[in-house]
Structure 1
Amino acid sequence: MTVITSAEKWLPPRVTARLAPALDRAEAIISRRDDQSAAEYMALVAFAIRVLSAAIAFSSQIILARFMGEFQYGIFVFVWAIAVIFGNLSCFGFHTAIIRFLPGYRDQKAHAEILGLTQTARRFAVGSATLIAALGLTGLAVFGKSVDAYYLVPFYLAAFTLPMIALGDVLDGTARANNWPFFGHGATFLLRPTLIIILMVAAISLGYEATTITALSAALLATYLTTIGQYLAVTIRVRSSFASPTKSITFRRWFVVALPIFFIEGFYFLLTNSDVIIVGFFVPPDQVAVYFAAAKTMALVHFVYYAVKAGASPRFSQLVSADDAAGIANFAARTAAWTFWPSLVLGAMILLAGPFLLSLFGPGFADGELLMAILFAGILAKAMIGPGEVLLTMAGHQMICAFIYLLVLITHLCLSVSLIPHYGLQGAAAATATAMTVEAILLFLVVRHRIGIAMFVFAPRRYTHEEDPG
């Protein structure tokens, strides 16, 4: 039974007639009858997963903060942020390169290339992450005396999570490239944080103290369990969907594309997480905890952007491969709208509930309210553009995109180092918001110049060139 048929059965004819266009579009999205509908379906599912994952992640952070106290919690978030960054960087861009190549291979029925790409990306990510972890452990052994004692054991534990974090990111990319949101987002954003909190609660109930070491041990075990399960699920589906007796590996071609993506993703991850890390160098762990709580609360808005990005990446790749300039322009305008308006509404609601949300972390987190307002200004600036870097990457403009993030990262670092010593946590928030604004401006200008469209939520949906951009 179709959506429209159901509506005709339960609604008056006049109401059904007025709702017919919207109902027809909803039916198209649910049935994924075309590429546009598939992208919207992917975005909606990713959005739903992000909503649930945001609730789980936020709740788990509150529980950890309550269990551990500000000081221990501050150590945990500082070390875990570094682990996630280096785990992602260990992929060297292959987790996104899969999204760049796999849809085209799928359209060409090049199954041997798909199997070769997915296998190569996994092995490369795990190998490089293991090497980086070994270098980190060696550095701790040699220079450990210069590190605060309460950071040593947590850093040792975090190093062992890197291979599984990297592998999980590659598996996420594989699932996203195939429009399998539950196999990608579900593992990283639902299962892993849930397991972390379950294992933490179990450890405390068994008599272990609620310390950073206990929390990171729980995170280590949860990461391995999640990634191994995800590996088995994605591998089975890839082999059943793309059967081939052979594998075709063109490592050089993939690496040439993956390396610029590595710089883009690396700069972006450093940009979005360096504030917590820099704060950790300037202030004690309890102040790191306050900043992280404010940033984590405001980060609930970010899942709108990530959900749109997840759905847009494969669709942009297909449109670019088909050289569909009109489709690119229309879809870019849609993604900007999909990003901005939900972000505006959700962010305003979170700001109004800010005092209550921060109080959930504990009595010492009230100072984060002003930080949330400052961060929201930057989030809105970025949301006005939508996933501009995704369009640039899929269109082959990886290097200019990497250069943008390098400039933004340098801006962020300079502002952070300049403002935090004088203005503390408010300076850190201002540096982050300003960097987001600079990022949005640069992305808008480059997309307009290189692609020929105005990727801006309030821009008219038409080309800036008379002819198709090429």
Structure 2
Amino acid sequence: MSLYRRLASQSTLIFGARLGGAGLIFVVQAMIARFWGAEILGEYLVIIATVNLVAVVMPLGFQTIGTYFAAEYRARQDRRQLRAFLMRAYGHAVGMFAALVILGHPLLDLLGQGASTLALHFVPACLLAFGTTMVFINGAVLVGLKRPLAGFLADTIFRPMVVIAAFAGASIFLSSPDTAFTVMLWVVGIGYAVISIVHFGFVVSAARSIGQASSLDDPQHVRRWWRFALPWVLISLATDFFFDIDLLILSAHMPREELAVFGICTRIFSLISFGVAAVYAVIMPDMFESEASDDRAGFHRKVGEANLVAGALSALLFIGMSLLGPFALRLFGPEFAAGAMPLSVLCLALLVRSLMGPASVVLSIHDRPWSSIPAVFLGLATLFVANLLLVPPYGLMGAAVAALIAISLWSISLWYVALRTARVDVSIFAWLRRPHTVPAE
């Protein structure tokens, strides 16, 4: 099967599963807005954004490098080092969860948030953060072990099922919206923690298929893990959880009802951007193997073909959201129709990101993970300043334009850093300029 066909087929399956699961999540969010009110939906989105940010920090960055090192150890058939890496990653998750349970509430009191929505739902939020952390690690490792479908299974299928079951049960048996919302969070937190442990079983099964290398444990590996993990936790926060950060920033500038509208726009954007992320998730282990075998032509070809598929998909998604976005938003209520134009603006950012290519991944493959950090901070600083300048006068559209400017600036900056430091042009334009053939694989 050619690389084009494999990228299209596997990424389409992953995206299709994500689309179906996200459809259930959107139904739940629409029902929350209609039956419990936009204010409770705004609180729900703030809690989920906080949980995601806490979850990405809990493994201390090891989930962000799980794909990279799992692919390396798979290529080398080194189960010993893979096992050591997994013990370290999951050990961080368990240790940080214990620290969160013990110190989280006092920290919220210290920050003056002792009566906030997050504090009122602290325990279920902690359970949801733990489950999310475990799924982050599980998914990253399974992608590196060339099990992408299993890697995305928990988040794309089972999490939405738990959420919709929890909402349905709470709505049917409880009449008070506040009480029903609390019960829903408890069920989701416990359910997703259980799912994450079952998902961990897939990791154990996949790891057993890796050969046992005869080399002894190398302490140099631990230093390499930390050298990659520390920058990648920042990169992950700025990319995968960009809009969670954005929502927390905007919560100080927008009323809850307007924040709910923009939050739904960002969730739709995150859904469609997952289709592009799936393309790179499929190709990443192959990129690593080409670099490890010093196959420069193969490496550039795989990056270029991934960019071509991702760019074409981004263009189609932009057109599709421009046409269908208004209808999707109206499912949440008439007040959500105001998000149609901001959603189209956000989709332009996905196109820019795809055209510039996977610069952060390529920099890490070339052993330069820290080189991405200046561009990341530039993007976040731009987001903060642009929100201050554009949101007060322009509201939702100002928030969307601020996000577009920030994402475009950091994507172009990352492309330039990769070009200057790693001497690799990861943009789609390099592929279009280069004469090539497409071999079958």
TM-score, normalisation: structure 1:
0.84
How far apart are the structure 2 equivalents of 1:40 and 1:328?
A: 18
Return the offset for 1:259: 1.6
- What is the correspondence of 1:296-335 to structure 2 with a 5 Å cutoff? 296-335=267-306
Aligned residue for 1:216? 185
How far apart are the structure 1 equivalents of 2:98 and 2:8?
A: 37
How far apart are the structure 1 equivalents of 2:256 and 2:114?
A: 14
How far apart are the structure 2 equivalents of 1:279 and 1:78?
A: 10
Aligned residue for 1:265? 236
Aligned residue for 2:147? 180
Query: Which is worse superposed, 200-209 or 341-350?
Result: 200-209
Aligned residue for 1:81? 49
Query: Which is worse superposed, 159-168 or 186-195?
Result: 159-168
How far apart are the structure 1 equivalents of 2:369 and 2:307?
A: 20
Q: Partner amino acid for 1:54?
A: A
1:22-61 deviation line (CA, Å, top 9, x unaligned): xxxxxx15xxxxx888766654443333333333333333
Q: Partner amino acid for 2:411?
A: A
Return the offset for 1:359: 0.8
Query: Which is worse superposed, 41-50 or 164-173?
Result: 41-50
Identify if the C-alpha distance between structure 1 residues 369 and 83 changes in structure 2 by more than 3 Å, giving closer, same or farther: same
1:401-420 deviation line (CA, Å, top 9, x unaligned): 12211111111112112322
Find 1:204's aligned residue among 167, 171, 189. 171
Q: Secondary structure at the match of 1:94?
A: coil
How far apart are the structure 2 equivalents of 1:184 and 1:289?
A: 30
Find 1:159's aligned residue among 118, 126, 148. 126
1:231-278 deviation line (CA, Å, top 9, x unaligned): 123223323545689994743332222222222223334533222111
Aligned residue for 2:201? 232
Mapped contact 1:60–1:194 kept (Cα < 8 A):
no
How far apart are the structure 2 equivalents of 1:304 and 1:105?
A: 27
How many residues align? The count is: 431
Return the offset for 1:69: 1.7
Return the offset for 1:463: 7.0
Return the offset for 1:170: 0.8
Aligned residue for 2:438? none
Aligned residue for 1:391? 362
Aligned residue for 1:57? 25
- What is the correspondence of 1:368-379 to structure 2 with a 5 Å cutoff? 368-379=339-350
Find 2:427's aligned residue among 456, 459, 463. 456
1:345 to 2:316 alignment: yes
Query: Which is worse superposed, 386-395 or 243-252?
Result: 243-252
Return the offset for 1:432: 0.4
Aligned residue for 2:439? none
Q: Partner amino acid for 1:235?
A: V
Return the offset for 1:172: 0.9
Aligned residue for 2:68? 100
Mapped contact 1:199–1:222 kept (Cα < 8 A):
no
How far apart are the structure 1 equivalents of 2:306 and 2:84?
A: 31
Q: Partner amino acid for 1:230?
A: H
How far apart are the structure 1 equivalents of 2:185 and 2:300?
A: 45
How far apart are the structure 1 equivalents of 2:214 and 2:412?
A: 48
TM-score, normalisation: structure 2:
0.89
Q: Partner amino acid for 1:260?
A: P
**Structure (1 or 2) with the larger CA radius of gyration:** 1
- What is the correspondence of 1:97-136 to structure 2 with a 5 Å cutoff? 97-136=65-104
How far apart are the structure 1 equivalents of 2:124 and 2:65?
A: 29
1:162-198 deviation line (CA, Å, top 9, x unaligned): 2222122111111111111232101112111221111
Identify if the C-alpha distance between structure 1 residues 272 and 71 changes in structure 2 by more than 3 Å, giving closer, same or farther: closer
Mapped contact 1:412–1:435 kept (Cα < 8 A):
yes
1:387-439 deviation line (CA, Å, top 9, x unaligned): 22222222222101122111111111121123223322222111101111102
In structure 1, list runs of 5 or more residues that go unmatched.
1-27, 30-34, 465-470
In structure 2, list runs of 5 or more residues that go unmatched.
436-441
Mapped contact 1:279–1:425 kept (Cα < 8 A):
no
1:72 to 2:43 alignment: no
Query: Which is worse superposed, 202-211 or 436-445?
Result: 202-211
Aligned residue for 2:159? 192
Identify if the C-alpha distance between structure 1 residues 47 and 379 changes in structure 2 by more than 3 Å, giving closer, same or farther: same
Find 1:411's aligned residue among 382, 391, 400. 382
Identify if the C-alpha distance between structure 1 residues 422 and 247 changes in structure 2 by more than 3 Å, giving closer, same or farther: farther
1:48-88 deviation line (CA, Å, top 9, x unaligned): 33333333333333233333221100100011111111101
Mapped contact 1:329–1:463 kept (Cα < 8 A):
no
Return the offset for 1:324: 2.0
Identify if the C-alpha distance between structure 1 residues 106 and 200 changes in structure 2 by more than 3 Å, giving closer, same or farther: same
Alignment RMSD: 2.7
